[in-house]
Amino acid sequence: MAFVLEIETSFTQKYIKNYIVSIARRFNIYATIIQSESKIICAFTSEHKKLKECLEVIAQELPASLFLKSSKSYENDEEPSSLAELENEYPLNLGLCPSCQKEIFDVKSRRYYYPFSSCSCCGGNHSFVESYPYVRKNSSFKFLIPCQNCIEEQNSVGLKESHEINSCHDCGVPVRLVNKKTERYANDAGSFRTMFEVSAKAINDDKKVLIKTTFGYRVFYKVNKLNNASILMMINASKITDYLSLITEEYNALLSIERPVLNVTVKDEELQELLGTNTSYVKYPDDGFSILLCTELKKLGIDFIAYEEVDEGYEADLFMDYDLEIRPQSDMRVFLNKDNLFIANGERVSFPSHNFKENFLLSIAHDYMGLPFHKKILFDNIKKFDLIYTDKINVLKGVDEKSHNNKKVFLQDEASFISVIAEHNVFDKRCVGAYFDEEPSFLYYDGKNVLRIVPPKEFNSSEIIEDIKNLRDGSDRLICNLQQSAPEIYIKLLALQSKEDVKLFEAVAILLGLEDESMRGVTKEAMKFIGKGGIQIDTHVKDNRFDNTAFLASIISYQLAGVSSSILSYSIFESFGDYFNDILQELKVKTKATEIVLCGTHFANQSLFSRMQRNLKMTPPLMNKNYPIGKENAVVGGVFL
């Protein structure tokens, strides 16, 4: 007989499964643990006298995850006959698991205040991987010889089993804290603790501290120094809801092992004032360095600080550094709207990944590559792979890949669209979809090929003023009026004409007079609107493309009529929601498609997504499950084009 625990999850990474495997191995309980497309099924032999204890430990220690849904248990006739095996061909960059967090705060442990603490199932291990296969000699730890204790741990059952880059104070990485005059080193528990104490005090004294965390370079500072790129790091879990107004799902997401960045509503009025808005990107301390720093800050009575992802050369008052190469990934931003959750953008946790059935071609997009590996496809940063021989290669337009004769160039929106079709395995169905990242486009999959039905119209700002003037009769008056009543906006618009690579939403933000001149700024502004129902902004198709000029002209005319920037921002997304719906429904009828696909990072927007949800109630849209809806999914789609 077997006791079966079934956990529902549509995420295919193996860290949660491995966590359960390592606990079952620790208890020496025979088990068959497999992960299918929709669940993790764990069958433990019923006879073992410690089964109850093992299940209790799983319930207590299993990290909370964004991607775990309901679970159930039952008995069946199965008879597991061996220990379950770990599946860790590659590590990820995750937050610290409860067990590793406990270790860094346990005075008696070998890793008290050791910021590189992690195990096989958690921590920022991927940052240290140089190449495959994932073994210590292919990592930044290759010159560090593990001590006897660490080797023993690696060779014993438990969370550190086969933890390739296991280390501790005795065999690990010394860290230095540098300011303009002095340098101090940390190489044991006491000196590490002092170093984090000193850093926390410096921040409290209004200094900026740059830290090479295992997730990359971050500069930390007090919230009075906030800017548009700042992320709030909430330190005190019990006080988070004093400052932020969160639904339960958001609170749980923040504290999950994935430790994503979330865009949430700020409740505290003082904080709103500092931010200049009522929403903010927030996260809970994730890697060893951030956790230890925040613990010291908490002792000083600080409930949250700000940080920014920067590069090594950032000028800070203090710099915490070490001699070990890291290859950080962009952070994971998660979008939550009621019971919908998806990854908006970022590489962390989605990559590397080992997924789908191999099909003997290479896909290259942005910094990523997908290639056949052990009967599936392995996706990771291109720098991790050596020379590869393959018959065919698919490359995203714009990527420099000259070395191959048999290459096909694909487009971002096509690749994103088909990555969703691949994730839902609906290759046998007809699908229509929209891609939205600055300029919208519409696509169709006929069961074989992807066609761009409404291609994106690249935004060109070089003659933006002339374009608006010539839009229709009387449009020239619109520009005259703008010049008279909002000269500062007119001057900025004029400057856009000589600037390169201007984004559509950069122009929108400028027209609205926003300080954050980007999509992020317009999104924040829309969140300030609390009324119901906006106004209709001109979103239409001209010559089979989205008409950027008519869209901008419409915003100017409302602006001149005195409509507030928050109503306008909200209305822009509401109008976009209706625009996407109208075209998708029309295409669906024309093509007899059964599925609707949404992709592109701009769909991670509360105002727009709520509208889309309402409009598409009858045909809930398919979206990425394991990968971001943003441009990062192109490498995945590239395999199927």
Structure tokens at 311: 């590069």
First to last CA, the chain: 46
Q: Rounded to the nearest whole angstrom, what is the least distance from the CB of residue 104 to Zn ion in the complex?
A: 10
- Answer for which of 31, 119, 334, 567 binds Zn ion (CB under 5 A) is 119
- Least distance (Å) from Zn ion to the CB of residue 110? 7
Q: How far is CA 258 from CA 8, 95, 96, 122, 253, in A?
A: 17, 6, 9, 9, 8
Longest dimension (CA), the chain: 85
CB of 324 or CB of 443, closer to Zn ion:
324
Give how many residues touch Zn ion by CB under 5 A: 9
Output 147 or 237, the one with its CB closest to Zn ion: 147
* Smallest separation, CB 88 to Zn ion (Å): 12
- Nearer Cβ to Zn ion (119/261): 119
Site map for Zn ion, 91-110, x if CB under 5 A?
------x--x----------
Choose between 62 and 432: whose C-beta lies nearer to Zn ion: 62
| Minimum distance, C-beta of residue 546 to Zn ion, in the bound complex (Å) | 47
| Secondary structure in 3-state letters for 34-58 | EECCCEEEEEEECCCCCHHHHHHHH
Q: Looking at beta carbons only, is 171 or 178 nearer to Zn ion?
A: 171
The 133-172 site mask, x for binding Zn ion (CB under 5 A), equals --------------x--x-----------------x-xx-
What string of DSSP letters covers 77-107?
Answer: S----S------SS--B----HHHHHHHT-T
List, as one string, the DSSP characters of 194-214: HHHHHHHHHHHTT--EEEEET
Backbone angles phi, psi at 77, to 5 degrees: -85, 0
- Among residue numbers 387 through 416, which ones bind Zn ion (CB under 5 A)? none
Closest distance between Zn ion and the C-beta of residue 96, in Å? 6
The pairing of beta strand 545-546 with beta strand 368-373: unpaired
Q: Contact letters (x/-) for Zn ion, 438-477, by CB under 5 A?
A: ----------------------------------------
Residue with tokens 């933890």: 163
Strand, helix or coil at 402?
A: coil
Do 611 and 574 form a contact (C-beta atoms < 8 A)? yes
Give 99 or 569: the residue with its C-beta nearer to Zn ion. Answer: 99
Q: Which is nearer to Zn ion, 171 or 198 (CB)?
A: 171
The minimum distance between CB 347 and Zn ion, in angstroms, equals: 21
CA-based R_g, the chain, Å: 26
Compare residues 122 and 177 and give the one whose CB is closer to Zn ion.
122
Min separation Cβ 133 and Zn ion, Å: 22
For residue 600, CA distances in Å to 10, 437, 518, 630 come to 20, 5, 16, 5
The pattern of x and - marking residues 55 through 94 that bind Zn ion according to CB under 5 A reads ----------------------------------------
Chain residues binding Zn ion by CB under 5 A are: 97, 100, 119, 122, 147, 150, 168, 170-171
